[in-house]
Amino acid sequence: MDKIGIFGKKNSIVKYNLDSHQSLWIADLPHGQSPKAIAQYEDFLLVIHQNWAGTKNISCFSESSGNLLWRYRYDFLCGWHIYFQPIFIGKNLFFKSGAVDFTKLCCKTGRIIFKKSLKKKKLFTFEKFEIIYLGESLIAFSNKEIRKIDIESGQSEIDHELTKKFNVNGVTAYLGNGVSFVSSISSLNQQLEDEAAASSTSAPAG
């Protein structure tokens, strides 16, 4: 089997055969942007890339051809302090897009199928949900409750039995099916990188 990898650097990503020393394809990124994370699901290659000023995008390429399928501004898909961690189900992906919001997007076209809120936002409440795919069920949980999400419609309802029997309060990490381990680690690395950058800019000059 040939040694083939996907490599990213400023302005581009490349699929490269290390045995034949040939580029199988090269895909352009917006000028000045460098890849920060790469994850693959089937033929879909998701790339998070940004420039020196912190402008960040999410692009999806065909892994086989290198063709760009879609691209969004990161902050259009994900709210403030929300890190993109896709859950792949069939040809679609689900991701948390706000404290109580999530989005379903078509991997092939980039069409946003729906954006939903798990519950109405209330003034001066700071509840936030995480989503996880277990078996054939999409679940959302906060430190107060567990909700079942209908994959087709996005409608959700509280699961009283799970909420009563399983204590999710204090959960700091989780992994279900449909989530790439690389995606999870990439999300963490983005967060650590952003926190480090914020810390360095706010530190007083010595």
Mean pLDDT, residues 11-18:
95
Q: Please tell me the least confidently modeled range out of 41-45, 66-70, 134-138.
A: 134-138
- In order of their start, the domains of the chain are 87-179 (2.40.10.480)
Asked if 115 and 129 touch (Cβ cutoff 8 Å), the reply is no
pLDDT score recorded for residue 58? 94
Average confidence (pLDDT) over 93-101: 91
> For position 188, what pLDDT does the model report?
54
Q: What percent of the chain has pLDDT over 70?
A: 84
Residue 109's identity, in one-letter code, is T
Q: What does the pLDDT read at residue 167?
A: 85
H or E stretch covering 157 = strand 156-158
Average pLDDT over residues 20-44: 92
**Number of other residues whose CB lies within 10 A of the CB of residue 49:** 25
pTM reported for the whole predicted model? 0.81
